[in-house]
């Protein structure tokens, strides 16, 4: 499928990855309809960071993914749909599991049914590496068992299986993309990398130490622009229909090593670091190692990451520094 000049819908467009995907699609010449969560402030979330020349080409639809009537209207007339709308914070899923089912499962069902009714030619459904849980073997390929180690991951497994069922039951042209840990500009302090960066930058002003949870988990970090290109490659690849495809670098860093690399880039190697117990996940819920097998993405999509981890961190540091006052570094963001 050639997406150029085509009408496409991005759900969750105001989010971190969603905003970068919207930007990449606009740069490719797509006619983009951006679904954002309704708010009375007319706030477009991370889409506000796009250049005006791109924002002026957007069609914004504000509503709620859990409303099937709204979703059906949003899907109408679109050749392809990228479904990213979801609740994604693992700690918040311990507090509000019903909300995760409503948004991640029911919301996905609404998108699937709308795409079926409207004859959409390609739906890219977003999964997460968290669906794999603690690795039984590494690198983790797409055949790895799925394990619901948090209400978040359980809700995403359910959503993935709904997508699979619509492909098998109704021949819906859906492909599932499974990104590993994405990072980059515009990411909130819900994620570990901007949490570390913002606290390190604030240390110079406040003298406060960096507060973290466990430093031992290993993650496969992918820069957000590479992840956005993965979405586009999945949509364009006819052979991806019915498939689940990992998007990850195939390399890992511990949280501790990531912290020290950030401090090295900042030239602040001696910032004190302390463990904040509220940031430590329950032992059986914590995923110790995520390492992507990305051969399927390389061979099927021709996708390879273009940014090194250090390059991505440097760009993320610049972005956080430019908007540091937006980060509430003294508050744990679940």
What are the phi and psi torsion angles at 316 (to 5°)? -70, -40
Distance, in Å, from the CA atom of 57 to the CA atom of 256, rounded to the nearest integer, reads: 42
Q: Strand 218-219 and strand 253-254: pairing?
A: antiparallel
Distance, in Å, from the CA atom of 332 to the CA atom of 24, rounded to the nearest integer, reads: 31
The question of whether 152 is a catalytic residue gets the answer yes
**Contact assessment for residue 67 and residue 107, using Cβ atoms and an 8 Å cutoff:** no
How many of the other CB atoms lie within 10 Å of CB of 98? Answer: 9
Instruction: Determine the 3-state secondary structure of 225 from DSSP.
Output: helix
Question: Given CA atoms 39, 197, 139, 236 in this order, what sign does their dihedral have?
Answer: positive
DSSP line for 159-215: HHHHHHHHHHHH---EEEEEE-EEE-TT--TTSHHHHHHHHHHHHHHH-PPEEES-S
Q: Which of 152, 166, 167, 327 is catalytic?
A: 152
**Residues annotated catalytic, as ranges:** 152
């Amino acid at each position: 499928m050639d997406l150029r000049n085509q009408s496409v819908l991005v759900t969750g467009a105001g989010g971190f990855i969603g905003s970068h995907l919207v930007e990449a699609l606009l740069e490719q010449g797509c006619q983009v309809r951006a679904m954002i969560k309704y708010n009375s402030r007319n706030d477009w979330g991370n889409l506000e960071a796009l250049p005006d020349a791109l924002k002026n080409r957007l069609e914004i639809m504000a509503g709620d993914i859990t409303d099937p009537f709204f979703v059906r209207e949003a899907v109408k007339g679109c050749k392809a749909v990228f479904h990213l709308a979801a609740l994604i914070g693992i700690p918040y899923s311990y507090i509000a599991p019903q909300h995760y089912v409503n948004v991640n499962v029911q919301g996905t069902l609404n998108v699937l049914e709308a795409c079926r009714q409207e004859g959409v030619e390609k739906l890219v459904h977003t999964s997460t590496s968290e669906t794999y849980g603690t690795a039984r073997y590494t690198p983790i390929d797409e055949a790895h068992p799925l394990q619901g180690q948090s209400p978040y991951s359980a809700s995403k497994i359910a959503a993935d299986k709904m997508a699979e069922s619509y492909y098998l039951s109704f021949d819906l042209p859906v492909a599932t993309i499974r990104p590993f840990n994405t990072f980059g500009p515009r990411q909130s302090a819900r994620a570990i990398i901007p949490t570390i960066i913002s606290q390190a930058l604030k240390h110079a002003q406040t003298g406060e130490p960096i507060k973290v949870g466990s430093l031992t988990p290993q993650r496969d970090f992918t820069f957000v622009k590479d992840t956005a290109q993965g979405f586009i490659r999945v949509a364009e690849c006819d052979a991806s229909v019915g498939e689940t495809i990992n998007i990850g670098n195939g390399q890992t860093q511990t949280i501790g090593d990531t912290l020290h690399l950030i401090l090295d880039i900042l030239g602040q190697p001696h910032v004190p670091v302390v463990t904040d117990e509220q940031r430590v996940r329950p032992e059986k819920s914590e995923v110790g190692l995520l390492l992507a097998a990305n051969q399927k993405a390389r061979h099927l999509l021709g996708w390879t990451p273009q940014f090194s981890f250090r390059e991505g961190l440097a760009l993320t540091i610049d972005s956080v520094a430019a908007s540091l006052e937006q980060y509430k570094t003294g508050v744990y963001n679940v």
